[in-house]
Amino acid sequence: MSPRGIRARRSRASQRTMWLAVGVAVLAGTGATAVSVTGGSGVTGADDTSRPARAHTLALDGKDPKKRELPRTDTQSFSLVGVSWEDGADDFEGTAQIRTRSADSGTWTDWRDLDFGIRAPETEEGDASAVRGASEPLWVGPSDAVEARVVAGGEETAVPDALRLDMIDPGDEKGGTGQDRSGGKGGSANGNGNGKGKPSAGPAAGESATASAPTVGGDAEPTTAPEQSAEPAPEPTDAPAAEQPTPSDDPTPSEQPTQEPTADAGAPAPSEEPASEPAGPSEEPTAPTPSPDPTQEPTEGPAGPAPSEEPTAEPTAAPATEPTTEPSAQPEPTGSASPSAPAAPAIVSRAEWGADESLVTDPPSYLDKVDAVFVHHTAGTNDYDCAESPAVIRAILTYHVQTNGWSDTGYNFFVDKCGTVFEGRAGGVDKPVRGAHTYGFNGYSSGVSLLGDYENGGTPTAAAQQAIADLSAWKLGLHGVDPEAKVTLTAAGDTGVYRTGEQATLDTISGHRDGYATLCPGATLYAALPEIRRTAGISMYAH
């Protein structure tokens, strides 16, 4: 459980704008207000067959200061949901639960808890006026109705102000919109940054790149074979735009539930103390990053093609990583540690998974060096098909920008259960892009998030573990860091595990919970980290 943070009001120096559709529908007798939110300034020329992700909200109003309830209510289509409140510096202790109705079957789910292990970045990005406090987003699949209840607990005497339900429709984009922000490196060789690139032919997710590539133990295999990866999209004639949605339809209460499961307590987050944000890069490293073919059936094994240059069969272990300090205000991105470094693992670019670049209005920030990789899980569900992975990631991007109020998705990379790696925050997969994933340690690290819930019974597949190991080995190797070493970092904020300025000695591949008070990345994924570190040390992508 996270300790209760200090509720310091932020300076909110920078600004972000959210467009609200005209019209607010007050739900008679439900204590909720319906609002529809869409992305920022769009790109003209959207084609008729695709649409960007969109956010819809329901204000959770009520007279009881300690709880809010929303009866079963019909909504616009959504696939991801969370709750948020006005003050991003205000931690929440209590529980938030939702249940949803499947748009396909009409069946209502059981009650599901929302997690609270999320925290705004410890930089100016986290001080923006649009930053809101929020739960972790929960992927629920295509849904058209929702029921919710939020109860203050612990030291809380009231639920937060301006509490609302945030529902994200991931859209059905066939490619990214707007300008490419990948920095010209990484991703698919076919991605052109304009939403018109198609995934190139390559090994299937989880397919072995070479016969001698290391694999992770088979005890982590899924009980059922995951579905094939996402279908490559037909090439559109125009890039889709971030469309302005119509006002949210008046949601109407539906039938009341017949059973009332008990609630589980959520984990609040600690307070933060913002640190300065580093400036952008002055030079551009290079590293080719071919893309996987998301149409092929995945098999157990590492995801990625053979490197362009022959690596040694067993790389020599590097010396332990030297402790570092917080990056300077004017860093220069570090390139490959060696001119003969192996190629990157296959990474699906933002253009290929359909990122709406019109949402991302701020340029990326860069670190001096990546000293560590923090492993996360997205929570939510493990029942997604791998063909749905791009939609899940589009929804998370939209939630991080339009609900949390951040400049981009917080994670640097995503991995799905089929072992496919996806580019996360924009700026270049081979560059030290500063993310927003591990509060207190974002200034030293890269964040990799595995799609799924690994705290409540889910087990990471061998393909996913291999992909995390290969990606971490490559990313750390670009900066001369041994994936099996330890590193000492200085906490840039109170994390619930470390105080501001305290020295933290961590594995160079660590779990989110190692630096921050949270259950992330879940019990089973955290238990797999020692083997992931070992596999990274002998990875074909290790430098």
* Pick from 44-58, 121-135, 515-529: least confident: 44-58
Residue 231: CB atoms within 10 Å? 12
3-state SS assignment for residue 465: helix
Q: What is the mean predicted confidence (pLDDT) over 283-297?
A: 42
Where would I find the beta strands (DSSP E) of 359-485?
Answer: 372-377, 413-415, 421-423, 445-450
pLDDT at 178 (0 to 100): 41
pLDDT at 341 (0 to 100): 52
In a domain, 207, yes or no: no
In a domain, 83, yes or no: yes
| Residue 494 CB contacts under 8 Å (≥ 6 apart), including other chains | 5, 6, 270, 271, 272, 273, 440, 500
Q: pLDDT digits over 463-484, tens only?
A: 999 999 999 999 999 999 999 9
**Could you tell me which residue, 325 or 155, shows the higher pLDDT?**
155
Q: pLDDT digits over 138-192, tens only?
A: 999 999 999 999 999 877 678 988 999 999 999 986 544 444 444 444 443 333 2
The DSSP bridge pattern shows strands 445-450 and 372-377 to be parallel
Is cis: bond before 226, omega within 30 of 0? Answer: no
**Could you tell me which residue, 9 or 485, shows the higher pLDDT?**
485
In a domain, 23, yes or no: yes
**Could you tell me which residue, 506 or 212, shows the higher pLDDT?**
506
What is the span of the domain harbouring residue 91?
Answer: 19-169
**What percent of the chain lies above the pLDDT cut of 70?**
58
User: Is residue 77's pLDDT more than 80?
Assistant: yes
Taking CA atoms, 542 is separated from 218, 336, 471, 481, in Å, by 22, 12, 9, 10
In a domain, 139, yes or no: yes
Mean pLDDT of the chain, nearest integer:
72
Taking CA atoms, 298 is separated from 303, 357, 421, 488, 540, in Å, by 9, 29, 13, 38, 19
In a domain, 123, yes or no: yes
In a domain, 243, yes or no: no
In a domain, 50, yes or no: yes
3-state SS assignment for residue 353: helix
Query: How far is 290 from 200, CA to CA, in rounded Å?
Result: 8
* Pick from 324-328, 492-496, 524-528, 533-537: least confident: 324-328
Helix axis angle, 523-537 relative to 462-477, nearest 10°? 50
Query: How far is 90 from 67, CA to CA, in rounded Å?
Result: 16
Task: Name beta bridge partners: 143.
Answer: 78, 102
Q: How many domains does the chain have?
A: 1
* Pick from 150-159, 506-515, 527-536: least confident: 150-159
Q: pLDDT digits over 255-267, tens only?
A: 444 444 444 434 4
Give the torsion through C-alpha atoms of 253, 28, 33, 257, to 10 deg: -30
pTM of the model: 0.66
pLDDT at 87 (0 to 100): 82
Q: pLDDT digits over 433-451, tens only?
A: 999 999 999 999 999 999 9
Query: How far is 372 from 492, CA to CA, in rounded Å?
Result: 15
In a domain, 304, yes or no: no
